[in-house]
Amino acid sequence: MGKSGQLFVVSGPSGAGKSTVIGKMMAHRDDVSFSVSVTTRAPRPGEVDGVDYYFVTRERYDELVREGGLLEHAVFAGNGYGTPRQPVLETLASGRHVLLDIEVQGAAQVKEAMSDTVTIFLAPPTLEELERRLRSRGTESDEKIRQRLDTARRELLQAKNYDYLVVNDDPDRAAAELSAILDRYS
């Protein structure tokens, strides 16, 4: 049997730039697969079902939880999110790395279940800059932005539990730093 791939988890407050930085890094690597999560939240303009997320009903989400089809799952800002279990295990077994973009509760569940997971926290330079990014993305209502900023303050306290901390000051620099972390496990 060949060598298994390595599982990586990236967490960080909403608006820190996880999607941006992961996207930039993935464009330069072909040895890592992005795990597409299920979510009950509505797609944002430009998001594609099956690429950014699998957009599912609450009923389907509950069914997946009940059946044990999710490696981890959590409620974030009122919506359910989860990582389909089978594709992650199959991809790792094939020797490719897998990267999850998930929030802190899910990350803790994955680390508990698979202790050799490498965890990376992507932080914004400041809370003010985080708010500016969330507002400039323009995808959430004022109320949702406030909710995500409240959650961010709690999430930032979890950064110390991660194996690596990357500050997203500049997306290209942060993507290069993330890529260099992955290289250590290749």
The verdict on 15 binding ligand ADP (CB under 6 A) reads yes
Number of Cβ within 10 Å of residue 35's Cβ equals 19
Query: What character string, x for contact with ligand 5GP (CB under 6 A) and - otherwise, covers 126-145?
Result: --------------------
**Which of the listed partners (ligand 5GP, ligand ADP, none) does 83 bind, with a CB threshold of 5 to 8 Å by partner kind?**
ligand 5GP
- Binds ligand ADP by CB under 6 A, chosen from 29, 127, 171, 179: 171
- Nearer residue to ligand ADP within complex by CB, 115 or 141: 141
Stretch that binds ligand 5GP, among 60-68, 80-88, 111-119, 173-181 (CB under 6 A): 80-88
Task: Judge contact between 41 and 79, C-beta under 8 A.
Answer: yes
Stretch that binds ligand ADP, among 12-20, 60-68, 72-80, 175-183 (CB under 6 A): 12-20
Query: What character string, x for contact with ligand 5GP (CB under 6 A) and - otherwise, covers 82-101?
Result: xx-----------------x
Measured CA to CA, the distance from residue 13 to residue 18 in angstroms comes to: 8
The candidate with the shortest Cα–Cα distance to 117, out of 49, 45, 185, is 185
The verdict on 165 binding ligand ADP (CB under 6 A) reads no
Please, where are the H alpha helices in 3-158?
A: 18-26, 58-67, 85-93, 104-113, 127-137, 142-156
What are the residues whose beta carbons fall under 8 Å from the beta carbon of 126, sequence distance 6 or more? none
Task: Judge contact between 179 and 94, C-beta under 8 A.
Answer: no
Task: Judge contact between 53 and 47, C-beta under 8 A.
Answer: yes
> Contact positions toward ligand ADP, by CB under 6 A?
12, 14-20, 133, 136-137, 168-171
List of residues contacting ligand 5GP (CB under 6 A): 14, 18, 37, 41, 72, 74, 76, 81-83, 101-103, 105-106
